[in-house]
Structure 1
């Protein structure tokens, strides 16, 4: 696993040990960032189920100013911190061990809004609609901001909210599905 492009292009990232996380492949990461970037002129990113932090780190490498990484697993938090330290990105990032809903409420309480929100949760029985509804209700995504969802390829996410426009929905290799939404 590596950073695909930007200031840290080619740098290796440590994966979370064990099988509790499923890293986004370099091929998928490249395709996704070509669609949502490919580069950014500042802004902030929320990597909500961060795992190793690879998606949020890619966004920082491609020009995002700041990132918040959230995961509830201690090994993931340790890995994110290691990857940020290795790339000297700790000054641009905050890392929290928390449940997703608690992290969303804490972000709203701080008055934060994001240009990019990355959702790559464990696939089984995850309620994407509930999380996205919380993001919208708490006003956490800026106008024209992007919400990226990685999901089981058999799942077709369908947002019933006209504030979000579907930009792309695709399956990669029968193992990963992605849906990308933009805030109107």
Structure 2
């Protein structure tokens, strides 16, 4: 895998070995960032189920201010640390090796806010209502959740969220959500 654009363009990053993670393919990441390019500069990123950290690291390379990477898999966290250090992004990244619920609780206690939240859960995890609801306190009015999921599969999210963009490439789909703030 490699960083596609920005200050670390062309630099290689590693992915954890084994079947516990599913790295986002370079071409999917490139298409995803084409959709998000105007929102990336100076953004604060939260990357849940971060795996190798490719999405966050790509965002930082393209101008994001900072990223928090969360994954419960120890090997994935070690790879994230290694990738951040090799790209010299460790001053702009924070790593949490824990369950997503614990990380969100900690971030809420710290009153953290994020502009872009990447979600790349296991494809079998299709009921995301609890995850989305728990993210609301971490969101600003214009924040977005970028969900990577299996194409053609239905995903459950709370009614407070509206789809802004929806794209698919082969077996992979990306749906961008925002809080529905109409009537505020």
Normalised to the residue count of structure 2, the TM-score between the two structures is 0.92
Match of 2:44 in 1: 44
Match of 1:144 in 2: 142
Paired with 1:106 and 1:126, the residues of 2 have a C-alpha distance of 24
Contact 2:115–2:139 (8 Å) recurs in 1: yes
SS at match of 2:116: strand
Match of 1:93 in 2: 93
Q: Which structure 2 residues correspond to residues 12-161 of structure 1 after superposition, within 5 A?
A: 12-38=12-38, 40-136=40-136, 139-157=137-155, 159-161=157-159
Match of 1:169 in 2: 166
CA RMSD of aligned residues (A): 1.5
Gaps of 5+ in 2: none
**Shift in alpha-carbon separation, 1:63–1:119, aligned structure 2, 3 A:** same
Q: Deviations over 1:120-164 (max 9, x none)?
A: 01111343222001111xx111121110111121323354434x3
Indicate whether 1:182 and 2:178 are aligned.
yes
Bigger drift between 21-30 and 117-126 goes to: 117-126
Normalised to the residue count of structure 1, the TM-score between the two structures is 0.92
| Structure 1 stretches of 4+ moved >4 Å | none
**Shift in alpha-carbon separation, 1:127–1:159, aligned structure 2, 3 A:** closer
SS at match of 2:168: strand
SS at match of 1:37: helix
